Amino acid sequence: MSTDLPHTSGAPTLEDVARVAGVSRATVSRVINGIRNVAPDIQEAVHRAIATTGYVPNRAARSLVTRRTGAVALVVSGAGDAKGGEPFESRVFADPFFGRVASGVVGYLRPRGIHPVLMLADSAQTRDDVVSFLRQGSADGALVVSTHGEDPLPKLLVDAGLPAVLWARPARPIPISYVDLAHRAGAALAADHLVARGCRRVATISGPFDVPAAQDRLSGFQEAMAGHGHPYVPAVEGDFMPASGEAGMHRLLKEHPDIDGVFVANDLMAQGALLALRDLGRRVPEDVAVIGFDDSAAVTCRPPLTTVRQPMEDMAAEMARLLLAHAADPDFQVTSVIVQPTLVVRESA
């Protein structure tokens, strides 16, 4: 590679990069546009030349060649999710879960020069806006986090033939790639831990029954407890928000005052459950042991929450990887990735 820099007054050009790298202009173009069949050492030489010259590729021109925009839509989508008039966006941004997902997406895309565009879709109009945005070529595809089991957006994207990857298994079978957690296995970890610490009268606060992840966590916990000789586990339904966890804990203790262990289907509801236990004078974990799920808000709980951890950043990065693969190859096969959870033991159980 030549180290002689071009003596020009304007911005570095493709020809300048080619001269420094010692390759043809066409080769530089192929490397910049991500076209295959360029030897790794040549690619490295071109990237070094780009750094040396300070060349900045013309994104608009590159898009004409690659038909790629350098952007993806990160969509948080719900259907009928308004609770007591609370705006959808308020619920989204109040949940640390979404921040961890966004962090994983950005961490994967940014080194590749790709940027996420945040979109919220909680109505027929905003879902149509997402589909139109993608059809117009404003982004290379969509990473979709659905907050409601009956969310129609994933099917709309599939029917439109648009590249998309979903967080978690869809409620209804459709041909879309997704990344999910082994929720039943995670719930079983919680059951095993409560039994191991001597809990005999165990209950659970589940998520919404129409959400597949909530269904799996509930059934996985009940099945594991049955395996330990506990055929009946009292359960109440929450909505993944703190107030429902607080109300659910009050209801459980009213109906079953001898509860000594509770599995709560996410950390935000567990926060509410801990508030209820404190208000009722129950000590945690001495009187009632509490286990959450997600590891999204666990360290801010008092006492710090024992919880089932799903590696959200890693799962979000895997979503982004799959989406880029779909965007690069229209024949890329629809696939699923299931990640194993772990139990993080803190003070609450």
Domain ranges for the chain: 14-57, 71-180+312-340, 183-309
CATH superfamily of 14-57: lambda repressor-like DNA-binding domains (1.10.260.40)
Structure tokens at 18: 């080619």
- The predicted pLDDT at position 69 comes to 73
pLDDT for 60: 47
Q: What is the pLDDT of residues 51-99, one digit of tens each?
A: 888 887 655 455 444 456 789 999 998 755 455 556 767 677 777 888 8
- Beta-bridge partners for 179: 167, 337
Amino acid 28: pLDDT: 85
Given the candidates 3.10.620.30, 3.40.50.2300, 1.20.120.1750, 3.40.50.300, the CATH classification of the domain at 71-180+312-340 is 3.40.50.2300
Specify which of 1-15, 155-169, 321-335 reaches the highest per-range mean pLDDT.
155-169
pTM of the model: 0.76
Give CA separation, 285 vs 100, 123, 199, 262, 266, in Å. 28, 42, 10, 10, 18
* 8 A C-beta contact, residue 270 and residue 306: no
206, pLDDT greater than 80: yes
Joined together, the tokens standing for residue 146 give 């659905």
For domain 183-309, give the fold: Rossmann fold (3.40.50)
Q: For the CA atoms of the chain, what is the radius of gyration?
A: 25
Residue with tokens 């994983």: 104
Grade residue 338 by pLDDT with cuts at 50, 70 and 90: very high
Distances, alpha carbon 8 to alpha carbons 27, 53, 59, 201, in Å? 22, 11, 22, 79
The strand pair at 177-181 and 142-146 is best described as unpaired
**Other CB atoms closer than 10 Å to residue 8's CB: what's the count?**
11
